[in-house]
Every structure is written in structure tokens, then in C-alpha cells.
Amino acid sequence: MHSRAKKALEVFLKEDIGKGDITSKLLPRKKISAIIISRQRGIVAGVSHAREIFNSRDCKVRILKNDGSKIEPNDKIMTVAGQAYSVLSCERTALNLLSRMSGIATQTNELVKIIKSINPKVDLYSTRKTAPGLRIFDKEAVEIGGGRKHRMYLDQMVMIKDNHLAVAESLQDIVRSAKKRYKKFEVEVENQDSAIEAAKEGAPIIMLDNMPPKEISCIIQVLKQLNLRKGIKIEASGGIDTSNVKSYAKTGIDMISIGRLTSSVSGIDFSLEVN
């Protein structure tokens, strides 16, 4: 497990436990066993992190459903055994992370299935619209659901967005500056003229932001007519969800990015039951 993830899990636990779980301290000191059960249908994600949370407090865990598995209501996800105080003080942190990650994986998987049914070559990407402190886990959940991470941090790839263009001298200048230093970078554009300019300057990835599918199809056709489409990846982003993702997948793009994969999460319900 990534060291950043381990450190984050410890922070999550300390946030919940504080100076100690005073309710569980009232219980007799004895060992118990428990089982985590799903209450909804979906794709499970975060199992390895839930195990790490319990293991960090000397509990033994047996995983029954691995990350990426389809789950139904009342499916058994994992068993936990250890001191009652340890199991119960870890319960909420483990369940919260399982719930969020599984919700992201489930939503991602549903969208990926729709996209791939239209065009298997189009990939679904997450964005940086993640909950602060949870990016590692949010992005991992997207991958478990069949999506892709895009960039994790600002230092991983140049992405020239509208506010960068507002500060820069021109689109041409900032693209040329990026080309001198990096082989891979992306430019966000909001109209056909800017898309053509970015393509002419050799931007390897062009994001068509907040455009309807018809406009995207038109831009891609124009780029083909100008012999500018080859070697360039086209990404669509902004306002895309289950209601319109099919239309976007039909446009001829290569990538679809959806912020609400991680910004608007509907968690999957899990519960821990002591045997």
C-alpha cells in the first residue's frame, strides 16, 4: 500500500477516535468477531484500505469480496476479529471509506458500460474535483470501477485551462512554451477557432469544454478536413452524466472526463455486525 495512503488512514482514524472511544471503553475487555455486510447492489471498492484500518489496531481480517467485485444486498464483504474496543473504534472509519469508494466505483462502472457500448475506444476519466484529503482513494475507486485517473497532482502534467489563457499573452505563446518542456500536455478550449489554433500549434490533447455533442462532432470533422485530427487526442468535459453520455461517446472523441464521479458521490451502504 502507498505510504501516503497509510498515513491518510491513520489521520482518518485519529480524527474519529480523538483521545479515545469513551463508549467502547465501558465494555468488558474481550475479543469479538464481526462481519461487514453490504446493504445495496454495486461494485465494492476500498476493501484493502478497510483491512489496513483494522490491522493497524491489531485486528485480524479475512476478505470475502475483493475490490471490483459485484455485490448484492446482504453480501458478506469481510470478517473482523480482535479486541472489542479495537474493532468498534475502527468501525465507522472503515465503513465510511468503503461506502464512499464503492459509491464512486459503482457510478464509474455504470458510465463506463454505457460509453463502451457505444465506442469501446473511448475512455472515462476522473478529474481533480475530489474531496480534500481523499484524492488517493477517490481516484483509486474510479480505476476500480473501470475508469482512468487523469492527473493526480498539478505536478504530473501541464493542463492549460481558461484562467491560464486569461493570464497568458496568447494561446499560441503558452502552447509553444509547453512544447519546449513537455511532450505531453493538454489545452482546454471553448470554441472551434481555439481548437483549430491549439491543433495547429501541436497540442497533443485538446479538451472541448462545456460543448454540446453536435458542436464537438462538427469540430472533429473540421479538424479532419484540415488534416489536424491525426495524433491528437480529443477530450470532452463539462455537464456530462448518464442522461447524455451516449451522445458524447458518439461524437468521435477519445476521452470523456466527468467531475461528478468524485464530487457528487452517493455512497453504498454497509454495516458491521458483531457475531
What amino acid positions are annotated as catalytic residues? 129
Residue 25 CB burial class (10 angstroms; 0-12, 13-18, ≥19)? exposed
Residue spans of alpha helices (H) in 129-239:
135-144, 162-167, 171-181, 192-200, 213-225
Give yes or no for a contact between 258 and 148, defined as CB atoms under 8 angstroms apart.
no
Long-range CB contacts (within 8 A, 24+) of 78-81: 78/35, 78/36, 78/47, 78/50, 78/51, 79/33, 79/34, 79/35, 79/36, 80/33, 80/34, 80/35, 80/36, 80/54, 80/272, 81/31, 81/32, 81/33, 81/34
> Helix, strand or coil for residue 185?
strand
Grid cell locating 185: 500536455
Give yes or no for a contact between 8 and 48, defined as CB atoms under 8 angstroms apart.
no
Whole-angstrom distance, CA of residue 180 vs CA of residue 49:
41
